[in-house]
Structure 1
Amino acid sequence: MCGIVGIIGVKDASNKVAMALQAIQHRGQDSAGIGAKKGNHFRYYKDIGLVHNIFNEKELKRLEGRCAIGHVRYPTIGGNSKEDAQPFYSRWPGIIMAHNGNITNFEEIKEHLLSQSIFLSSKCDIEPVLYILSNEIIRDNIKRVYSFKDVVKGLKETYKIVKGAYSLVGIMSIDGKDTMFAARDPYGIRPAVWGKKGDSYIVCSESVCLDVLDFDYMGSIKPGHVVFFREGEDPVEFEIEKKGFAPCIFEYIYFARPDSKINDHCVYEKRMELGRLLADEFKERKRGIDFDIVVPIPDTSRPSAITFSEETGKPIREGFIKNRYSGRTFIMPTQGDRASALRLKLNPIKAEIKDKSVMLIDDSIVRGNTVKRIVEVLKGKGAREIHLAIYSPPVINPCYYGIDMSTHEELIAYKVLKEMGYKFNGDSIRLDKKLLTKLEEKLAEKFGLNSLTYLSTERLNLLLENNRCAACFDGDYPVNVDEKSRRCIVFDRLSSRD
């Protein structure tokens, strides 16, 4: 998972991109980069670290031009190196490009390029996509000026080769004019929104970028479509290849900022709704369990905890203080990093915890690190009982589309199901309510909880009326990932964590 920004039609566009990238720094903390175009010159700079540590006045001044793109990275293919940071540049026909998502047939594309004697300089999956697009644009058509028709044709051929979940943003010269383009995969799994201010345009992963730069929200890029933007001109849109609409449900559950708008939905409102659905689930399946207070695990779960508290009639309290200078543990590269950061991240307020039955609310349980640590500290502060309610179903299937949980073996729910003797039929796992209850009981015992309640997939489906990708919960993958590609993705992630 990463974050992208593109801006065209403003003075010193790279400065504005740097500001917007800081608004979506939560989407990637490993590296960042910005590329700009002025006349016939492209310049870019990228490095390891956070945006404000990489880009100083000197670097931004060098990135001249009225159009620029930027990227923050949390790798799900490739490693944490400067070479893997985005954006990437192709000299012919002259494109600088970045993406958010995962190209699932990355190794296949590498082999395709090698057969044409095209070599890569990184392990980042957008680099081969850029080279394929560049080749398709200039194929049988070597000239200095390219049209919308040429680029759309190139994208259509690229989409035939590239598989996965992605949102792209790029800058090039089309018809002799600086042009920014943005495109989404055929299912719209990864988000991309756009906005307008006067004669200028912005494209980004989340609408918070528009807010910090005072752009008007205009909507989302449609699945399987490309939109071209030029300063002072109306956007031009083409359909490349649309197959459906399956936006990632994990964006609403955890990844996106609550004050963002993606796919024309307010993330905060969706999390409030998830809290209501969780309260319904709890009341239906956990009769007889009582608790004194509702405590959100900061920060993502706060909106859901508010509505859960309202629906159950129990007061909500701040049970933890979060260290504002601690990064998001889920997107840290290794298990050791995540465990160490958790000790810094959350500290309980003893006055709220001691001698009370606490109902914790959290977004998900992936590896189980946060739950283990929280139960330990709450018991140390004298909690009488500790209950946990999760406003998503158990994560029991890997994500191959850009969330860093691409192996079964790292998923705590999968491991416990295996310990329970569950017989797996292929890679996809689905839970009925009877098995869900047994899993909750086993996990509660493992974590030292008095009870654990998950949101069922049936109730989760009410959130977006089945228009979503929730393969990590239900095993329904909108984009097929063949066995060879799965093995390559798993090997890549395991290798990068060593």
Structure 2
Amino acid sequence: MCGIVAVLCEEGTLAVPYLYEGLLALQHRGQDAAGIVTEDRGRLALRKDNGMVRDVFGSSEHVAKLTGSVGIGHVRYPTAGSSCSAEAQPFYVNSPFGIVLAHNGNLVNCTELKAEMVSEWRHLNTGSDSEVLLNIFAAAVRDSVSLRSSSPKVAGALPGCNDADVLEAVRNVMRRCIGGYAVVTLIVGWGLVAFRDPHGIRPLVYGRRKNESGAVEYMAASESGALSSLGFALIGDVPPGHALIMTRKAEPQLHDCIPAGKVKPIMAPCVFEYVYFARPDSVLDGVSVYRARLRMGAKLANRILATWKDHDIDVVIPVPDTSRTAALECAGVLGIKYREGFLKNRYIGRTFIMPQQGLRKKSVRQKLSPIASEFLGRNVLLVDDSIVRGTTCGEIVLMAREAGAKRVYIASAAPPVRYPNVYGIDMPTKEELVAHQASVDGLEGLERVVATIVGADRVVYQNLHDLEQAIQEEAKEAGVQFSSLESSCFNGSYVTESAVSVDYLATLARTRSIDRGGDANETHLLDQLEIPLKVQRVS
């Protein structure tokens, strides 16, 4: 999972402050690396590196070089390739025109696409599927422009890029690339295009604002929370299979890019966005993340009441931060006190998205400190958004006991995570998942085994139907209807089923286990484009 942002400001206005602040607002989506590219009258400036946004852009000199009123940015959480700084995004290719691209998601047919790239005499410098996507897009733009340049109408003139070329390139990407992806792309001298996979697995929104001079500026990002934090009013989501063109020539325009004659794929947003990844103040595909999580909490409480009528819970405590909303509603429905029991160190990253198991385990105690008075002598229900590997959960149970809890129960607002996620979330091997390790028939049997593994007195999981209903009900309230939801990590049903074979899953698990947290398996040094601090301006 990553975060992407694109900004088109009034000419003469620097885009980098908005890109920087936008990435800060999306920092929760990726803490491994960050990058920004801006364009200033045909010149690109790039700054990217490993680290948090404030670290990568901590020098005023770095930010000062990022001139221009248009640009894109990225925060990285590695799921493909490695954690090498060379694989930080955005990526750049010089032909045609100069194109930079930032991508959130994962291509499930990347191996086949890489082989096609080799046959097309294209060189790949990294192990990232984002570079594959960039090369496919760039080649399609070049082919479209070349086709026009051979027409008698242009009479030997050197053609530039136009909207038709870009849309044809997006269609080409959607014909060839299978998986979940949200993309922002800058083409030098032309503008920005943002597009989303045909199933809408990964989120992408856009908005507008008037600056102090009254000029209208536009922004696209992974979440609406990034827009609102910068004063951009949400216009809406980029629909699945659509491209959003943002240039200075016209108002932003949405275009359906599903190849002609192809059956329109079902819309299937990722459930985990609502469970864990997205900010609670975000609205994704018309659905309030906050209100969806309230519904998750209520349904979780109802399951506790249905399956554990004689419970002895004294207090409900959330595992900060994502589970707070669900825990609050769960406590309300149960009629039990809600208390904050953990103090969170906000300078420690999200443990779920850390690249190594050792780092995740070590950081739990660095990130959370128990408030002993809320645990001492009590039977505590800890509400978490999900239980994935069980690493964090086991450490938190132990911390609660050390703080004096009499009994420690765990409730998960999400169902058991049993299967790998292949669309951009780092759940690559079944063997890493505690619910797979404890695989037994029946949800209640699984809960007993997982409780033993993590050291809890009891574990309660949300069931999948209730989770999906929580999101669907909120969608209905907002006047939105989903064809489906991408819930493969819970049920093993992949929306791009034809491309997700047993061999693919085995290869993915093997590759990511090697890559995760290690040095680059494929690397390059062409990762910094610098321009002078002061650009000579032509009057």
TM-score, structure 2 normalization: 0.87
Please state how far the C-alpha of 1:334 moved relative to its aligned partner: 0.4
* Structure 2 gaps, min length 5: 150-158, 211-215, 259-263, 473-481, 519-539
Residues 48 and 203 of structure 1: is their aligned pair in 2 closer, same or farther, counting only changes over 3 Å?
same
Please state how far the C-alpha of 1:39 moved relative to its aligned partner: 2.0
Aligned partner of 2:508 in structure 1 is 489
CA distance in 2, matches of 1:292, 1:232: 62
Residues 475 and 169 of structure 1: is their aligned pair in 2 closer, same or farther, counting only changes over 3 Å?
same
> Which whole-Å deviations, capped at 9, do the CAs of 1:441-463 have from their partners, x for residues lacking one?
11112222221110111211212
Please state how far the C-alpha of 1:484 moved relative to its aligned partner: 4.1
Aligned partner of 2:209 in structure 1 is 197
Please state how far the C-alpha of 1:415 moved relative to its aligned partner: 0.9
Residues 151 and 44 of structure 1: is their aligned pair in 2 closer, same or farther, counting only changes over 3 Å?
same
1:149 is matched by which residue type in structure 2?
A
Match of residue 27, structure 1, among 29, 53, 57: 29
1:161 aligns with 2:163: no
Aligned partner of 2:236 in structure 1 is 219
Please state how far the C-alpha of 1:492 moved relative to its aligned partner: 2.1
Match of residue 469, structure 2, among 454, 462, 465: 462
Aligned partner of 1:333 in structure 2 is 355
* Structure 1 gaps, min length 5: 421-433
Bigger CA drift: 444-453 or 352-361? 444-453
Structure 2 SS opposite 1:139? helix
Please state how far the C-alpha of 1:322 moved relative to its aligned partner: 1.1
Please state how far the C-alpha of 1:487 moved relative to its aligned partner: 3.2
Contact 1:5-1:70 within 8 A present in 2 as well: yes
Please state how far the C-alpha of 1:77 moved relative to its aligned partner: 0.2
1:92 is matched by which residue type in structure 2?
S
> Which whole-Å deviations, capped at 9, do the CAs of 1:254-312 have from their partners, x for residues lacking one?
11111222212221111111101111111111221121111111111111111111100
CA distance in 1, matches of 2:161, 2:184: 18
Structure 2 SS opposite 1:386? strand
1:259 is matched by which residue type in structure 2?
D
CA distance in 2, matches of 1:389, 1:58: 48
Aligned partner of 1:249 in structure 2 is 271
Structure 1 SS opposite 2:105? strand
CA distance in 2, matches of 1:485, 1:154: 27
Contact 2:162-2:190 within 8 A present in 1 as well: no
Aligned partner of 1:8 in structure 2 is 8
Contact 2:238-2:254 within 8 A present in 1 as well: no
Contact 1:196-1:218 within 8 A present in 2 as well: yes
Contact 2:37-2:47 within 8 A present in 1 as well: yes
Please state how far the C-alpha of 1:344 moved relative to its aligned partner: 0.7
CA distance in 2, matches of 1:231, 1:392: 44
CA distance in 2, matches of 1:316, 1:464: 24
> Which whole-Å deviations, capped at 9, do the CAs of 1:36-86 have from their partners, x for residues lacking one?
112222221211111111113212221221100000000000111111110
> Which whole-Å deviations, capped at 9, do the CAs of 1:182-207 have from their partners, x for residues lacking one?
10000000001101013210000011
Aligned partner of 2:125 in structure 1 is 121
Bigger CA drift: 276-285 or 440-449? 440-449
Aligned partner of 1:427 in structure 2 is none
Aligned partner of 1:428 in structure 2 is none
Percent identical pairs in the alignment equals 38
Residues 183 and 380 of structure 1: is their aligned pair in 2 closer, same or farther, counting only changes over 3 Å?
same
Match of residue 111, structure 1, among 93, 115, 118: 115
1:37 is matched by which residue type in structure 2?
E
Match of residue 294, structure 1, among 316, 334, 344: 316
Residues 374 and 87 of structure 1: is their aligned pair in 2 closer, same or farther, counting only changes over 3 Å?
same
Contact 1:9-1:231 within 8 A present in 2 as well: no
CA distance in 2, matches of 1:178, 1:13: 16
Structure 2 matches for 1:274-423, cutoff 5 A?
A: 274-417=296-439, 420=440
CA distance in 2, matches of 1:376, 1:475: 31
Contact 1:104-1:489 within 8 A present in 2 as well: no
1:238 aligns with 2:255: yes
Structure 2 SS opposite 1:191? coil
CA distance in 2, matches of 1:141, 1:231: 20
Higher relative contact order (CA 8 A, sep 6+): 2
1:68 aligns with 2:89: no
CA distance in 2, matches of 1:277, 1:171: 43
RMSD: 1.5
Aligned partner of 1:36 in structure 2 is 38
CA distance in 2, matches of 1:203, 1:79: 27
2:419 is matched by which residue type in structure 1?
N
Structure 2 matches for 1:22-101, cutoff 5 A?
A: 22-55=24-57, 56-93=59-96, 94-101=98-105
Contact 1:208-1:260 within 8 A present in 2 as well: yes
Structure 1 SS opposite 2:234? strand
Bigger CA drift: 186-195 or 260-269? 260-269
Structure 2 SS opposite 1:58? helix
Match of residue 445, structure 1, among 441, 449, 452: 452
Structure 2 SS opposite 1:121? coil
Contact 1:77-1:124 within 8 A present in 2 as well: yes
CA distance in 2, matches of 1:99, 1:140: 22
Contact 2:144-2:168 within 8 A present in 1 as well: no
Contact 1:107-1:488 within 8 A present in 2 as well: no
Structure 2 SS opposite 1:228? strand
How many pairs align? 480
Contact 1:206-1:256 within 8 A present in 2 as well: yes
Structure 1 SS opposite 2:508? helix
Residues 291 and 231 of structure 1: is their aligned pair in 2 closer, same or farther, counting only changes over 3 Å?
same
